[in-house]
Structure 1
Amino acid sequence: MNRRDFIVASAIALLPLHISAQTPAGYPEKAVRIVVGFPAGQATDIIARIVSEKLAERLGQPLVVENKPGAGGGLALSYLLRQPADGYTVSFANTGAVITNQFVKKDLPYNPNDLQPVALLGDIPLVLAVRGDSSIKSLEDFINQARANPGKLSYATPGVGTTSHLAMESLKQATGIDVLHVPYTGSSRSLSDVVAGNVDVSFDTITTVYPFTENGRLRPIAIGVSERVALLPDVPTLAELGYRDIVGAVWVGAFVPPGTPTAIVQTLEAGIGEVAKNPDVASRLAAAGLYVRYADAAGFAASLATDKPKIQEVVKFSGLQPN
């Protein structure tokens, strides 16, 4: 055997060893931790638990949800990025923690660009709602009244820099209206003040708005996803009303640390995809406020690349400064 043939043969002999080192056989061989950056009982937590229950059955190992709330979901992602890239720590995170935080918070303790996307699960729609007896009956009414009374109408959100805040700023940017932002520390108080007539309108998640609509305390006039939803089937979408580019939902997706072997990412990606297709799971997720819009790792990465500049532009328009 000449020297060239020896080198080629040696390279071929080593190739399976390299592949096995990158794609551990038998994954997962132990419990997988699912890190959530919000308290137990919050929407992202409930969604993570619903998916983890079925995903554990498919993977043949327990999936243990750990709550690490704080910094708008950022503490969990900071923790995730310090873990080994072995597929045994996964985080379910949302729009705010992955994209918005980097534009509205100073000294972020993690780099969102380091996150390895696994799969997009779906969207929690935002609902534009007014007091039940408001003279505002539709999105058109709201826009017309706002244009006739610049700076007079007000909108409530659960906080500065939240997706709810950016959603209204996005609508302001698209329509040219001028409405006053009234931020609160959480949705309960903000929605209660809309019901009380202290604020004119709210743009908040369907999970928080829907209970107020059941007894007529709030009237939903538009919803931020592209298709109507079963909980509020008579409420038109912003898209069908002509506003397709509004930041109108909070998405939830799965991430792992950078450098996680491709085969492990693909295992998790395929598992989440199968779970998302399960009608029972989809029904339970919808009850928790999330509507499935599954995308694999590549599709999710493309979606992130589209969302990031859009949200950055809305933050710039709003005049928000990192704090």
Structure 2
Amino acid sequence: MTTRRDFLAEMGASTAAVRLAGIGSILTGSIAANAQSSRPITMVVGFPPGGGPDLVARALAERGRRELNQPIVVENKTGAGGRIALDWLRNQAADGSAFCLTPAAMLASYPHVYKKLSYNPGDFDPVCKICHYHVCVVTRSDAPFSTLKEFVAWAKATKKGTFGVPSRGSGTDFIGNLLSNAEGLGLEPVLYRGGPQLTQAVLGGEVDLAINLSSNFIELAKAGKVKILAVSTAARSSFSPSVPTLAELGYRDLVFEESIGIVAKKGTPEKAVLRMQEAMHKAMEDAIVRSALQTLEHRPDFRAAKQYGEDLAAASERYRTFVQKTNFQPLD
């Protein structure tokens, strides 16, 4: 089982990230003045176009391009709950031409839940954290229940119930499992390739609940096509103040916020990592980028490499606890 100390060692947060913090004086002047090539930088995302991570990457890529004076091309390499993108990055040259924007689960949870993982956290160097997001539990508008309490009663009475998630072993999956365990429901998890596919599934009645980033359901909820039953924030979200939290509904273990950040292949030159880190930091100050995050109901929380590595280590501990509480069986 990966511990916090193991995770920090694997990610290099106590070594490589510290070195990053000390080389700020290497780069002077504007980032654009230090651009080394007009060759595009690839920003890979493990989820389909239109989902939260994809939209965050595209907002950052446009502003980052201007900071770097170099194109940033977002590529979606989907499947396996985000693992394919990280596996792709692991096999690229460590030359600063490729990065991955990913939720923390792919680095912090998957080492705990997969028997065989094609990568490990030590294959990557943290670059920076971008933001936090929360998740929500939704159902279609014509479902035979309108609150989470009503869903629990319905599931117990009918002895059935399913919840859809975009990745097994992620925070969304653990929320569904912990809810199921707390109520003795035996809910069946159903995996989808990404947020857009999961959204269509819940709209079409393929699953009773969908658990995913709130950004996938904002407009649908406004249009009355889905009902948001609960959110995972500690206190009611300012984005959805009328929606109860899972904690206030009695599920105190289900307070959950996840980070999205950027990593590079292990061994990428310090200068290239710092250059991207600074470009993303400046991009985060742009009004258009912040507006995009606001629209997605993501909370900006930029952290440099060392802090991001420490946050990933803390997330790894949180997921280890989830695994223990749910008696989660390792995945192939």
Q: Work out the CA distance in 2 between the residues paired with 1:37 and 1:58.
A: 24
**C-alpha spacing 1:247/1:230, structure 2 compared with 1 (3 Å):** closer
SS in 1 for 2:267: coil
SS in structure 2 at match of 1:34: strand
Q: Conserved in 2, the CA contact under 8 Å of 1:153 and 1:200?
A: no
- Superposed CA deviations along residues 84-106 of structure 1, whole A, max 9, x for unmatched, are 43333221112343233333434
Structure 1 position 207 matched with structure 2 position 215? yes
Shift of 1:256: 0.9
SS in 2 for 1:120: strand
How far off is 1:133 after superposition? Answer: 6.0
Partner of 2:8: none
2:183 corresponds to 1:180: no
CA contact (8 A) 2:45 2:57 kept: yes
Query: Offset at 1:246?
Result: 2.7
Query: Structure 1 CA distance, aligned partners of 2:140 and 2:280?
Result: 39
Aligned identity (percent) is: 26
Give the AA of the match of 2:131: G
| 2:35 partner amino acid | P
- With over 3 angstroms needed to count, the CA separation of the structure-2 counterparts of 1:44 and 1:199, relative to structure 1, is closer
Residue type at the aligned position of 1:234:
S
Alignment partners' CA distance in 2, 1:68 and 1:138: 36
Report which structure shows greater RCO (CA 8 Å, sep ≥6): 2
Change (3 A) 1:178 1:212: same
Counterpart AA for 1:275: A
1:29 aligned to 2:30? no
2:288 corresponds in structure 1 to 280
Residue 152 in 1 paired to residue 154 in 2?
no
Is the alpha carbon distance of 1:27 and 1:228 closer, same or farther for their aligned partners in structure 2, counting shifts above 3 Å? farther
Letter of the 1:100 partner, please give it. Answer: S
Match of 1:126 in 2: 135
Once the two structures are superposed, residues 66-89 of structure 1 have per-residue CA deviations (whole angstroms, 9 ceiling, x without a partner) of: 333333222222232233433332
Give a deviation string over 1:213-257, Cα, whole Å, max 9, x none. Answer: 223333213212346555533223445667565363443210012
Cα distance between partner residues in 2 of 1:182 and 1:86: 39
CA root-mean-square deviation: 3.6
Gapped regions of structure 2 (runs ≥ 5): 1-21
Aligned residue among 73, 77, 83 for 1:74: 83
Q: 1:260 to 1:188 in 2, by over 3 A?
A: closer
In the superposition, relative to structure 1, how do residues 235 and 278 fare at CA in structure 2: closer, same or farther (>3 Å)? farther
Instruction: Report the TM-score when normalising by structure 2.
Output: 0.74
SS of the equivalent of 2:132 reads strand
Amino acid at match of 1:223: V
Match for residue 300 of structure 1?
A: 308
Task: State the distance in 2 between where 1:135 and 1:244 align.
Answer: 26
TM-score (norm 1): 0.75
Alignment of 1:253-264 (within 5 A): 253-264=261-272
1:88 aligns with 2:103: no
1:165 to 2:173 alignment: yes
2:256 equivalent to 1:248: yes
Query: Secondary structure of the residue that 2:217 maps to in structure 1?
Result: helix
* CA distance in structure 1 between the aligned counterparts of 2:91 and 2:202, rounded to whole angstroms: 42
> Do 2:173 and 2:189's aligned partners in 1 also have CA atoms closer than 8 Å?
no
How far is 1:203 from its partner?
2.1
Offset from partner CA, 1:256-277 (integer Å, 9 cap, x none): 1223344443332232222223
- 2:118 aligned counterpart, secondary structure: coil
Radius of gyration: which is bigger?
1
Q: Say if 2:52 and 2:216, in contact at 8 Å, map to a contact too.
A: no
* Structure 2 residue corresponding to 1:56, chosen from 59, 65, 69: 65
Residues 107-157 of structure 1: CA deviation (Å, up to 9, x unaligned): 3222223211111111332112245466755556666x48x9499362411
Read off the aligned partner of 2:47 and give its amino acid letter. F
Aligned equivalents of 1:192 and 1:73: distance in 2?
19
What is the identity, as a one-letter code, of the residue corresponding to 1:257? K
Stretches of structure 1 that go unaligned for 5 or more consecutive residues are 1-18
Report the Cα offset of residue 314 of structure 1: 2.1
